[in-house]
Every structure is written in C-alpha cells, then in structure tokens.
C-alpha cells in the first residue's frame, strides 16, 4: 500500500497531497463517445483548462445478463481512466449503481424487473444481492485506479441524487459499505439538487450540489448544512437534454459564463455536466415522467461546450479563457477539429418486410396471456431489455380495442398485416375494421426508453404489461416475438438471401438496405432522414439510435471510425414511411430551440 495522501475535505477547501486544490471538472461518458475518439475529447478537455474528468458507470451495459460482465472495447473503463491519467487529469468516478444520466432505467439492468416485488434503490434483498455481485466485479476493475494505489481517481460518488428518492434510510449506508468493504479508501461524496440536500446525508461523506443558476441559494444552503467543508457543484448543468416532440434546449453561453465565473471566484469547485454529452447510441435513451411520459432523443448534445461531434463551441472558447486564469502555465493548444463530409445520397437497393424477418428471431414464445418484455424466456432467461416486441393473436370480429394503458410505450396495430393505427400513452383505444372469419391481430410494441429519474422506477416494465380488451373481452392466445435487434439477429438478417430488390415504400414496417461508398479516409457525417417516419439506423452493424420525424432531432451522428474505406452497409428499420434514399450533411439540424432559462424551475430539478 502506498503512502499517498488522497483528496481531503477537512477544511473550507480541498487538499490533495496536503496542497490546496480547486476541482475544475467536466463530465464525459465513455459509453457515449466512440472509443476511437476518447483521446480527442480528453485532449480538448485538458486544453480547456479542466483538471478533472468525471464519468458515470452504467451497470446495464456492464452486466447485460445476470452474472455476465463486459468491460471490453467500448466499455473498457480501466483504459478510459488510464487515458485520463496520461493526460494529467484527475478522475471522479460515479459508479451508481443508479446513475440517472438520461439513460434507460437510470443505468439499472432491466433483468432486475423480473422480480415482481422488486424495490429498486432500497435494501430489498433481491436488489442488495444483485448490487453486491456487481460491485464485486466493478471494484476489482476500478480499485487499481485509485489515487492511493497510484491511479488518478481522487473521489468516488456514493449512488446519485438519493435525496430526491429517499425511500430507505439504510440504503445509502449500504452503498457506502459496498465501496469501503471492498477497499475503496478515497474521498466519498454524494450529489443532490436543492430539494435533495434536505435528506440527512452520511457521516464521513461529503455533500455536493447540482444546479444551473444561483438564485435559489443552493450553495449557501450547502454551506450552512456542512460548515468548514469545501463547497462543490458536482453537476453544473451546462445545457439540458431533449425529448421527442418538443424543442431543442439551449443555454446561452453568456448566461452560463456568468454563473461559472461567480462559482470560481468564490473558490468553489465545479464539475460541468456535461462538458461533452455525446450520443445515446442504440436503444439506451431514458425518459421523463412527471405525469406525462416523454422519451428522450438519441442525441445527447446537451448544448455542452463540446458538441455531440466533438466541436469546440462558443461556450468552450469562453470557458477556456476563464479557466486559463486559474493556471499559472499556458494551456495546451486546442486539437484541430475533426474533418467532416456530406457523402453522396445512398440509394435504397433492397428491403425485407418485418414479417419476413421473423424467421431470424429466436423461437417465438406462446402464452395464453400477454407477457411483458422483461419476463420473456429469452437471452438465457434474462428477458428482453430493449427494442421491439411483436404480439400476435387471432380475432373473429372487428370492434374497439382497449389498451387500458397496458402498452409500453407505443404499438403499431395490424389486422392481417395491414396497419390500422397505433396505441400509446395518450391513445388507449382504437377501432378495428369488421371482417369475416379468423384474422391475425398483431401489435408491434416499442420500448421507447425507461424512465431514468423519479419515484416510479420499479414500474418500468415494457411491452404489453396487462390485458388488452377487444369489445371488453381480454385477448388470449399470444405468439410473442422478441425483436431486440442485437448483433446476432442483424447478422442472420443480412446474410439471409431473402432481401427483395425492388424498392417499395409500402413495405413497412421493414428493413431497408443501401451501400455507402467511402473513397479515402472515412470522416464523421450526419445522416439526414428526410422523408422517413420513425425507426432505427444500423451502419456496419452499429446501432446509431432512433430517429422520429416529430423532431426536434432530424439527424443521426455517424462517427467516421465506424465507417471504413470502400463499401459500408446501412440498414434502416422503418415503422411507417420509407424513402428511397438516405441523405448526409456536414452539420446537425437541432430543430427549433428553447432557452432553458425560460423553463419553470421545477422542470430542471
């Protein structure tokens, strides 16, 4: 064991190795940035004058099935933290188990929901057991990175914003013990917004706060409840996230700079959340629900100082100028921007209908009653986590279909494979056409993202979660297909030889395939889906995320490292309206904007 003295919070300022320090931090999530770009983003962080990287750790990616761990490739947390150390950055880890982060179920794995009595973020035995097994693995990965072991990690956060949840007073001490009993000896801290600070906190754990503006006295409140301790804003919200169907949030650079300047002048430590937001690739976005369910978009640009594609914005340049005043030496040069290209449009050459793709799913499951996604006997009995589920049964009449709000979150409804409408959190009934004899009723249900913040985490089951009625009689006798569109399924689909070559926009829902030819070195680009409806895009097997014509996001970020020189395969899964081509642009289009300062305060807690 080394004799290094770590970060201490024993007076009104932090000390590290006995010397006073002010933490100038920024959040970049390794899981939201292509691994090939980790170095570029961290170099830009260093060049902005920051001295500390913070990151969450998403349990649902690291343990996708119970007892199966992944810390490789894009999820190589150890390499990411070591890269920060090479840049001369300290690191604050925020391992959860719950992280919020506008991430599906706040980073908790969906297989926890298989237990119908589960109480997430409490000392409920099923949750405690799962956390213990995860922390056994996680701590073995991160322990060598601790400052006292010669690594860059100077502090570790205990859970996240528990003061706003506070269901179980024994829970936070349990998480603290999880870390300490496994040998984590660095400074521990909690982070809470203004309302959450009222929660008791713990002995020997430093409280920090999360905010965007100073007008509510949150910092004074923190100083009052924790005298003679260093003050830190753990999440200074540099922008805000977006939800489908609303405007793109911006937080003007001058408004942000005024607050950051004041925080720094008062000697308070800060962490910019986000410094670089990146992208919620795949199906990983979360959702809000304060009475109305609102799924978040794919882009996590956040109006942060570094844009989604890693560009230095006006905010970045203003912050660099400000932070440079807190360094005695000159800051490093800012790395040159990544080159981008608007590739020639890709023409759709082949398509495969959803119905023809069902041969390539795992064996369908037959059940008298509907079964929710998480309880399907798939993925080694860990259930289905993400994507779509298709429920089919037979009907002998038309009439009214009542969902009773049991569709989570959105279903396209088909009779004999003809779309007759949709059901979602707003629309709970639908008229089915009359017809003779037995017909097949199909419901294609999409998990649009589990809620990541609030009191209802235990209720985030997806698919069909209860009875669906036809003319007041519950439907029975289902055949259920799991369409999580994982790499194995996509490979089977691609190699199937079933693709049809005449383009028909009427073949929806379905998969549409085209080839992008890249001459020379691949560059970053943005896919524009003009003329398309709603769906998901795969490039060379990578799931770039969802698009939806309702906006505000009208593009998908396609990182150059995920392309190759020569031929690249693009597959679009489209639900309702296909076009015969895919367009590209050099720059994103965020749609209409709204200033976060105009939002009521309660919406940004």
d(CA 236, CA 233): 6
> How crowded is the C-beta side of 129, counted as CA atoms within 13 Å?
8
Burial of 11 (0-12, 13-18, 19+ CB in 10 A): exposed
Which is the catalytic residue, given 159, 161, 308, 446?
A: 161
The DSSP result for 277-325, as a single string, is --B--TT-B-EEESSSEEEBPSB--TT-SB-TT--B-HHHHHHHHHHHT
Of residues 415, 412, 394, 390, the one with CA closest to residue 403:
412
Whole-number Cα distances in Å, 93 to 154, 158, 167, 196:
8, 9, 24, 20
Count CB-CB contacts under 10 A for residue 431: 11
CB 264 within 8 A of CB 22: yes
Q: Which two tokens stand for residue 33?
A: 């940035």
CB 423 within 8 A of CB 411: yes
Fill in the DSSP letter of residue 12: S
| Beta-bridge mates of residue 548 | 534
Q: Tell me the H-state helices in 159-302.
A: 171-180, 218-225, 253-265
Which is the catalytic residue, given 235, 374, 392, 574?
A: 235
d(CA 578, CA 506): 8
d(CA 28, CA 281): 15
Q: Which two tokens stand for residue 200?
A: 């008791």
Q: Report helix, strand or coil for 8.
A: strand
The DSSP result for 575-591, as a single string, is SS---SEEEEESS----
Phi then psi dihedrals of residue 597, to 5 deg: -65, -20
d(CA 4, CA 7): 10
Of residues 89, 83, 203, the one with CA closest to residue 154:
89
d(CA 223, CA 556): 43
| Beta-bridge mates of residue 537 | 545, 572
Burial of 19 (0-12, 13-18, 19+ CB in 10 A): exposed
Burial of 426 (0-12, 13-18, 19+ CB in 10 A): exposed
> Is the Cα torsion angle 604, 91, 162, 226 positive or negative in sign?
negative
Q: Report helix, strand or coil for 227.
A: coil
For residue 161, indicate whether it is catalytic: yes
d(CA 436, CA 457): 43
CA angle 159, 162, 167 (to 5 degrees): 120
For residue 374, indicate whether it is catalytic: no
Residues serving a catalytic function are 161, 235
């Amino acid at each position: 064991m080394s004799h290094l003295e770590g970060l201490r919070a024993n007076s009104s300022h932090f000390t590290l190795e006995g010397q006073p320090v002010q933490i100038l931090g920024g959040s970049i999530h390794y899981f939201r940035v292509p691994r090939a770009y980790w170095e570029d983003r961290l170099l830009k962080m260093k060049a902005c004058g920051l001295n500390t990287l913070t990151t969450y750790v998403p349990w649902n990616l690291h343990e996708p099935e119970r007892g199966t761990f992944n810390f490789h490739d894009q999820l190589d947390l150890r390499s990411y933290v070591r890269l920060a150390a090479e840049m001369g950055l300290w690191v604050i880890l925020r391992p959860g188990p719950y992280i919020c982060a506008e991430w599906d179920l706040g980073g908790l794995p969906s297989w926890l929901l298989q237990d119908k009595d589960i109480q997430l973020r409490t000392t409920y035995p099923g949750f405690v057991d799962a956390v213990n097994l995860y922390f056994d693995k996680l701590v073995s990965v991160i322990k060598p990175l601790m400052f006292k072991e010669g690594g860059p990690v100077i502090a570790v956060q205990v859970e996240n914003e528990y003061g706003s949840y506070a269901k179980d007073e024994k829970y936070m001490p349990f998480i603290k013990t999880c870390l300490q009993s496994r040998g984590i000896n660095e400074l521990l801290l909690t982070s809470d917004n203004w309302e959450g600070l009222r929660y008791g906190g713990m002995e020997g754990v430093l409280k920090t706060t999360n905010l965007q503006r100073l007008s509510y006295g949150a910092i004074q409140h923190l100083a009052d409840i924790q005298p003679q301790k260093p003050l830190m804003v753990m999440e200074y919200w540099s922008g805000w996230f977006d939800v489908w169907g609303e405007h793109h949030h911006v937080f003007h650079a001058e408004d942000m700079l005024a607050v950051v300047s004041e925080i720094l002048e008062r000697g308070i430590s800060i962490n910019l959340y986000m410094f670089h937001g990146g992208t919620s690739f795949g199906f990983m976005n979360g959702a809000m629900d304060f009475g109305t369910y609102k799924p978040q978009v794919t882009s996590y640009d956040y109006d942060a100082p570094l844009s989604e594609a890693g560009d230095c914005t006006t905010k970045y340049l203003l912050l660099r100028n400000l932070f440079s005043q807190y360094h005695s030496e000159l800051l490093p040069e800012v790395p040159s921007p990544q080159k981008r290209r608007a590739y020639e449009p890709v023409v759709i050459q082949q398509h495969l209908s959803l119905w023809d793709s069902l041969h390539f799913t795992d064996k369908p499951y037959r059940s008298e009653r509907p079964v929710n996604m998480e309880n399907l006997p798939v993925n080694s009995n860990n259930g289905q986590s993400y994507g779509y589920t298709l429920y089919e049964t037979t009907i002998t009449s038309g009439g009214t279909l009542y969902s009773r709000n049991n569709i989570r979150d959105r279903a396209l409804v088909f009779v004999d494979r003809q779309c007759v409408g949709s059901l979602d959190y707003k629309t709970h009934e639908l008229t089915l056409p009359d017809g003779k004899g037995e017909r097949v009723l199909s419901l294609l249900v999409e998990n649009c993202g589990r809620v990541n913040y609030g009191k209802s985490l235990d209720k985030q089951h997806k698919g069909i979660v209860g009875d669906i009625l036809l003319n007041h009689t519950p439907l029975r006798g289902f055949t259920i297909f799991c369409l999580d569109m994982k790499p194995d399924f996509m490979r089977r689909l691609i190699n199937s030889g079933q693709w049809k070559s005449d383009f028909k926009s009427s073949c929806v829902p379905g998969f549409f395939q085209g080839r992008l030819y890249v001459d020379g070195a691949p560059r970053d680009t943005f896919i524009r889906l003009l003329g398309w409806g709603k769906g998901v895009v795969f490039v060379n097997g990578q799931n770039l995320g969802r698009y939806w014509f309702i906006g505000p996001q009208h593009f998908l970020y396609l990182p150059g490292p995920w392309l190759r020189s020569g031929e690249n395969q693009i597959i679009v899964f489209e639900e309702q309206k296909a076009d015969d081509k895919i367009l590209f642009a050099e720059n994103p289009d965020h749609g209409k904007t709204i200033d976060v300062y105009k939002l009521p305060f309660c919406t940004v807690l």
